[in-house]
Structure 1
Amino acid sequence: MHLNSSDINALERRRRAALINSITGYKPANLVGTVNAEGVSNLAIMSSLVHIGSNPPLLALIFRPDNTERHTLDNIRETGQYTVNHVHGDIIDAAHQTAARYPGEVSEFAATGLNELWLEGFSAPFLSQSVVRMGMEIREEIPLAINGTHMVIGEILTLDVPGDAINDDGALDPSLADSVAIAGLDSYYRSTLVQRMAYAKPEEKPRRL
């Protein structure tokens, strides 16, 4: 199947959204925890998390355009802090349910049966059931004029990972933490390591670890 720009634009709206949301392949499944100024917590599943840099440790999220409610983004703007929590296989049902459009006065934690975890000195709730948890602080918000979305860049202030999921070189093996991935809007996958490769150098041939 080959689609040009006109073909893509002519697709029925939901079919176009399904295709373009899934065409990038596997994406990380994360639950973003926030709280508003009145103390109502919020939990939202997001798959747009990307690495920006390691020094300082920066990650970016993409938020919807201004024509829709965005409790998570509003809360981040109010408090400056948020959490990113990996989704694992046992909580997929509850994690997916956080995408429902609950009113602002309803906490997705309570609505889905997931549990808040509060750490001293940090203003946003972590997910108790997650084993990979990051405490973030906003560093920059960039409005994207091309489609009205917003990029939020945050710095990792605190990180909680299982020690037995860390490789000898310090990298996280998501499969050992049972972290799952999303393809499109509603398909969840467990990860399996295929192979690891040595650092690529122009004078050396590709080498497996």
Structure 2
Amino acid sequence: MHYTSEDIKQLDKVTRLKIINSVTGIKPANLLGTINNEGLTNLAVFSSIIHLGSNPALLGFIVRPTGEVPRHTYENIKENGSYTINHIHPKFAENAHYTSAKFDGNISEFERCGFTEEFIADFKAPFVKESTFKMGMHFKDAINIPLNGTIMVIGEIEHLIYPDDAMIADDIDLEASNSVGISGLNSYYSLKKIGKYPYARVNETPEF
């Protein structure tokens, strides 16, 4: 199969969404938890979270154009500056997927999709109790992307919580943490570690 840019533009919307959302490979599967200033919580599945730097510990994610439908996650983050990122695990992947439905703003996906809100001291946004690997984030910046109207939201990790046995030697092991990945819009994958290699140095590169 070979598509040119013109071919891609001519695809019907659903086919184009499925293909282009898959071409980057397996992406991290996370639930973003937020709360508005009236106390109503929101939960939404995201597969666009990326590492931006370790010092400070910054992560970004992409919000689709805000003019099409209400973006409750983004609106809540702008209100109070806090949100959580929670890994999805196999036992609740189906529940997590349905948080992507366009529920009315007065409905909490926590309750509707069978999740438990979990709060910690001095942090406003709710974590997903069922997730064992989660981060509390502080909003730092939002960068508009004029090419397609999306927004990159940047936050700094304030709280990092993960199982003791997910740290193997000096690495986080995502297979041990039982985290899952997403391809396209609705396909979920388990993660299997295939190897661990030393830090790459020119003088230690094997002869392949």
1 CA distance for matches of 2:108 and 2:59? 25
Helix, strand or coil for the counterpart of 1:177? Answer: coil
Helix, strand or coil for the counterpart of 2:176? Answer: helix
2 CA distance for matches of 1:188 and 1:148? 27
In structure 1, the partner of 2:160 is: 159
2:169 aligned partner, one-letter code: D
1 CA distance for matches of 2:113 and 2:8? 36
Q: Percent identity?
A: 46
In structure 2, the partner of 1:79 is: 80
In structure 2, the partner of 1:126 is: 127
2:193 aligned partner, one-letter code: L
Q: What aligned pairs does 1:62-101 form with structure 2 within 5 A after superposition? A: 62-67=62-67, 68-101=69-102
In structure 1, the partner of 2:183 is: 183
Helix, strand or coil for the counterpart of 1:155? Answer: strand
Matched, 1:47 2:40: no
In structure 1, the partner of 2:18 is: 18
In structure 1, the partner of 2:60 is: 60
CA-CA distance at 1:113 after TM superposition: 1.1
CA-CA distance at 1:66 after TM superposition: 2.1
1 CA distance for matches of 2:8 and 2:102? 28
Return the TM-score normalized by structure 1: 0.97
CA-CA distance at 1:148 after TM superposition: 0.5
Runs of 4+ with >6 A deviation = none
CA-CA distance at 1:63 after TM superposition: 0.2
Q: Structure 2 regions of 5+ residues with no counterpart?
A: none
Deviations 1:125-174 (A, max 9, x none): 000000001000011110111100000000000010101111211x2111
Shift of the 7–161 alpha-carbon distance from structure 1 to 2, 3 Å rule, reads same
2 CA distance for matches of 1:193 and 1:141? 33
Q: CA RMSD in A?
A: 1.0
CA-CA distance at 1:13 after TM superposition: 1.1
Would the aligned equivalents of 1:200 and 1:206 in 2 still touch at CA under 8 Å?
no
Pick which of 60-69 and 150-159 moved more. Answer: 60-69
The number of equivalent residue pairs is 206
Helix, strand or coil for the counterpart of 2:203? Answer: coil
1 CA distance for matches of 2:119 and 2:146? 36
In structure 2, the partner of 1:193 is: 193
2 CA distance for matches of 1:178 and 1:21? 23
Matched, 1:107 2:104: no
Would the aligned equivalents of 1:22 and 1:184 in 2 still touch at CA under 8 Å?
yes
CA-CA distance at 1:69 after TM superposition: 1.0
Return the TM-score normalized by structure 2: 0.97
